[in-house]
Amino acid sequence: MNCLKLRTVNGAERLVPLGKPYTKAPDESQLKGVFDCDGKVSLARSPNRVVVKNELDAEIGPGMGDWIKVLASPVAKAMGREGCSPCEAKRLVVNAATKLKAKYGIIEAALIVKSLWTAISDGKHEQALSQLQAKLHD
């Protein structure tokens, strides 16, 4: 599992799993790079995640997920959870619901959306986006 590494001005460090919400202390700064949760620098993080998100965003277009983002963004900001990867993944899933419904029908699309949301809630947002992309291109 990949983590972010935060360091205080005193030099104390802590690891936070990617995609998990956290609150950054005022004296903490995020170190550059992505680390395994055991503290080693990770080469596993691929820039592909950003590419997948951007491709899905372009393919799916705007939808109800954008309204969720607009409404939830101030709350997330107040809670110190800006840049929430799971939130972005859920936005994309909601936006894709119409295309999934057209391709698979209402019931199958609902089951797909439910399974993707469950995966995102379990911290597997990158895998969920890959699954979404595969479902759209089946």
When mean pLDDT is compared across 26-30, 54-58, 108-112, 118-122, the lowest value belongs to 54-58
* Domain tally, the chain: 2
Q: Which amino acid is at 118?
A: T
- Is the domain of 25 the same as that of 87? no
Range of the domain at 29: 2-36
CA distance 80 to 18: 15
Give the separation between CA 47 and CA 112, rounded to whole angstroms: 26
Three-state DSSP at 27 gives coil
| Judgement on whether residues 65 and 105 belong to the same structural domain of the protein | yes
Judge whether residue 124 has pLDDT over 70: yes
- Tell me the pLDDT band of 112, cut-offs 50, 70 and 90: very high
Inside any domain, residue 81: yes
Alpha helix positions (H), 1-138: 48-60, 64-78, 85-104, 106-121, 125-137
pLDDT digits (tens, 9 = 90+) for 24-79: 888 888 776 667 776 555 444 444 556 666 666 676 767 767 766 677 667 767 77
How confident is the model at residue 52, as a pLDDT? Answer: 64
